[in-house]
A and B are shown apart, each in its own frame.
Chain A
Amino acid sequence: MNEQHSAKPHITVSNMTMAYGDFIIQQNLNFTVNHGDIFIIMGGSGCGKSTLLKCLIGLKEPSAGAVSFDGEDFWGSDDDDRLTMKRKFGTLFQSGALWSSMTLAENIALPLSLYTTLGEKDIAELCSYKLSLVGLAGFDDYYPSEISGGMNKRAGLARAMALDPEILFFDEPSAGLDPISAKLLDDLILELRDSLKTTIVIVTHELASMFSIGDNSVFLDAATHTQLTTGNPVELRDTSPIPDVRNFLLRGEPNELSDKGKAL
């Protein structure tokens, strides 16, 4: 899991401040996500993880600072350039957020029909293939309301992958999934990264999953309204000098590993 990838910055966040009106959510955020990384955004409830994700995927403009993709400023670009950048993202929302008036196949087909010149047959084949990737082969003509929450989430992932994005964003992917499904989803995420070289950004507080798949992370703190640290989640757990971060990653339990780490 600590496999080294070419450390080429993909997403760079510099001096970013997010606020709703006068209410500052987070300020002075600085971190870099490299190509092929699985990057975890973590922190306690209500610290602004989801808001940070919104700033990254273009739903909310930060009140200061910049986000850039491959060195290109995202919020400073004009609408057309921003749209081009957006098409390189795929996002899996917390609830799946499938369009409820369309079947699963139509959900996946929509971005394909808008942004590619593929014919109907090709699109239908692609949809079936993407659905089979997430274990939903044969569910093409089901409506989101006819399948379970976990299946909705997987179908949402299939839609996020429709355009073979360079970056996949996940908002709490394992929330509401049973442990086995959550593990399968983690495996799927690793597989996607390894085979497609996709950069992956995940908002989560599922400890097991962040330790098993995370390469790098940023820890947001609700009290100080800024990031406390960045780094590999396992290393942070074992060696972080910041008690709050270790506490969070060890669920507030005694830090045996960290003591060992220090002794070494």
Chain B
Amino acid sequence: MTTSATLTVDRSTAGQAMLVFSGDWVISAKRPEIDELLGEFGTEGAAISFNSDNLNDWDSALLIALCAIHQQAKQYQLSVNLDGLPDGARGLLHLALAVEERKGARKSARHESLITRLGNATLDIWGSCVEITAFIGELVLSFGRLIKGKANYRKSDLAVVIQEAGAEALPIVGLISFLIGMIFAFVGIFQLKAFGAGIYTADLVAVAMVREMAPIMTAIIMAGRTGAAYAAQIGTMKVNEEIDALTTLGINPIDFLALPRVIALIIMMPLLTMYSSLIGILGGLAVGMSMLDVSAMQYLVETQSALSLSTLFGGLFKAVVYGSLIGIAGCLQGLNCGNNAMAVGQATTNAVVMGIVMIVVSAAVLTVIYINIGI
């Protein structure tokens, strides 16, 4: 059972203030507010001494009080006699005061006005725009070196990233595409059946998948799957000084790490998109056959009549654009990652967010362009 801690000031000797500690000065016990007790101190300039005869148990709580007293004494230039303290406490106090607090080391809480924060946030956005532009420039230079055969990268790395960004993504892309195709078919059948135009569901599913949904759904899956993986891989390499090791050997990290990854996505995104379109159409077919009175052949013939090559290539071009954006977001965030574990998590999050934002913005821009040039 701990008794509560008390601190009293004994001023019986003129010009002396004896601080009497009694009870248990431990963290778990109830203690007096040291700041209040010290409020009156110092102004009269009395020399400080201590008495700890009635002090039972003590731990860091006592030291916190002693440090505060020491601070006050220093401020008013009072002399302090530590003789009355327990030996251990004296030793620890010496240790705590041995190195002066470094000036400016303590971080002060800063209160920024709304306008300052808004301004800083705007500057941050501007900064990241500059970053992206610079990185795209670097990548273009890197492509130039690739064409001239001067880019340093390993062909085996390219093969591995192509496999990761391609074949290994097939199951998830297939599943999502099949479901999307089915959902489109359901919606289409319910609306079009009212007009007796149920068969046009095949047109709806085909055009929607090939032109818009397959590229954008694949892109969003790949941003979450591959873009995030790139940022995490490259970010971890940065933390582990592996990027520095490349740079000191004169190997450009953009050539070595970013180039193969962006190439892998540019190659694999159109292929995945075609696969996604096919699976989506099959999803539509499954729903169409079960809910409409049509044969598979009728559905597929209708699908074929709805599609043109320009629709297909329009979709594939989008896939190429999205793929390069995902690669850029992932590699940029990875290479700009800080030097600790938290920064890797942040880089991964940023890569996915930045990837999806860029995909959606470019989707809007491309759609407007397509409408204007009549695809």
Contact = CB atoms under 8 A, between A and B. Distances in A.
B242 A59 contact: no
B165 to A, nearest CB: 15
Contacts of A114: 152, 249, 251
Given A98-B242, A99-B245, A100-B242, A87 B154 contact: no
Contact of B248 (A91, A94, A99, A115): A91
Contacts of A94: 241
B152 A59 contact: no
Nearest to B243: A97
A57 interface: yes
Given A110-B154, A114-B152, A97 B244 contact: yes
Interface string B235-252: 011001110111111110
A56 to B, nearest CB: 10
Contacts of B249: 86-87, 110-111, 114
Contacts of A110: 154, 249, 251
B250 A97 contact: no
B240 A97 contact: yes
Contacts of B154: 110
A1 to B, nearest CB: 28
Contacts, number: 49
Interface in B199-252: 236-237, 240-242, 244-251
Given A87-B249, A87-B250, A59 B244 contact: yes
Interface in A52-86: 54, 57-59, 83, 86
Chain B facing A: main interface SS:
helix
A86 B250 contact: yes
A75 to B, nearest CB: 14
Contact of B247 (A59, A95, A101, A159): A59
Contacts of B248: 57-59, 86, 89, 91
Nearest to A93: B241
A58 B236 CA distance: 21
A26 B241 CA distance: 22
Q: How big is the B interface, by class? A: 10 to 19
B245 A97 contact: yes
Nearest to A58: B248
Given A100-B240, A110-B154, A114-B152, A93 B251 contact: no
Contact of B242 (A54, A83, A86, A99): A99
A100 B234 CA distance: 11
A105 B28 CA distance: 58
A83 B241 contact: no
Contacts of A101: 157, 160
B276 to A, nearest CB: 29
Interface in A101-156: 101, 110-111, 114-115
Given A59-B247, A59-B248, A97 B152 contact: no
Given A87-B249, A97-B242, 20 more contacts: A57-B248, A58-B247, A58-B248, A59-B248, A86-B248, A86-B249, A86-B250, A87-B250, A93-B244, A95-B240, A95-B241, A97-B244, A98-B242, A99-B237, A99-B246, A100-B236, A101-B160, A110-B249, A110-B251, A114-B249
Interface of A: 54, 57-59, 83, 86-87, 89, 91, 93-95, 97-101, 110-111, 114-115, 159
30 contacts: A54-B244, A57-B248, A58-B247, A58-B248, A59-B247, A59-B248, A86-B249, A86-B250, A87-B249, A87-B250, A89-B248, A91-B244, A93-B244, A95-B240, A95-B241, A97-B241, A97-B245, A98-B242, A99-B237, A99-B242, A99-B246, A100-B236, A100-B237, A100-B240, A101-B157, A101-B160, A111-B249, A114-B152, A114-B251, A115-B250
